[in-house]
Copies of this chain bind each other. A is one copy, B any other.
Amino acid sequence: MSEQNRQRIVVDIYGHQYTIVGDENTSHIRTVASLVDSKMKEISESNRYLDANKLAVLTAVNIANDFLKLKDEYNKIKKDYEDLVEKLEKKEEKAYND
């Protein structure tokens, strides 16, 4: 993708403005920023003593945890899907040869 297609979007996360540069469309970038913003607020509500830096690191940890759990689920369903496709192909091949 050319440099021209890179978006520069200013988003608000936990009361601060950040310029995000990326190839994704504006709506996707805003959704990403909104996810981080709401996670930071959620974590800060249950950990009021945290300084801003620790809060941001723990937010990253929290989202990384969700990411890795989803990755496990994704790999499982991908395997189930591929197994099913393979089973069907064998069945069709058998039906063709019979």
* Residue ranges of A at the interface with B (Cβ–Cβ < 8 Å): 13-14, 16, 18, 20, 22, 24, 28, 31-33, 35-36, 39-40, 52-54, 56-61, 63-68, 70-71, 73-74, 77-78, 80-81, 84-85, 88
Q: Is the beta-carbon distance between A64 and B36 smaller than 8 angstroms?
A: yes
Number of copies: 2
Q: Is the beta-carbon distance between A16 and B57 smaller than 8 angstroms?
A: yes
Name the CB-closest residue of B to A66.
B67
- Residues A61 and B13 in contact in the complex (CB < 8 Å), given A66-B67, A67-B70: yes
Name the CB-closest residue of B to A14.
B57
- Shortest Cβ-Cβ A-B pairs, 3 listed: A56-B56, A60-B60, A81-B81
- Residues A63 and B56 in contact in the complex (CB < 8 Å), given A74-B73, A74-B74, A88-B88: no
Q: Is the beta-carbon distance between A61 and B84 smaller than 8 angstroms?
A: no
Which residues of B lie under 8 Å from residue A22 when comparing CB positions? 65
Q: Is the beta-carbon distance between B68 and A35 smaller than 8 angstroms?
A: yes
Q: Is the beta-carbon distance between A36 and B18 smaller than 8 angstroms?
A: no
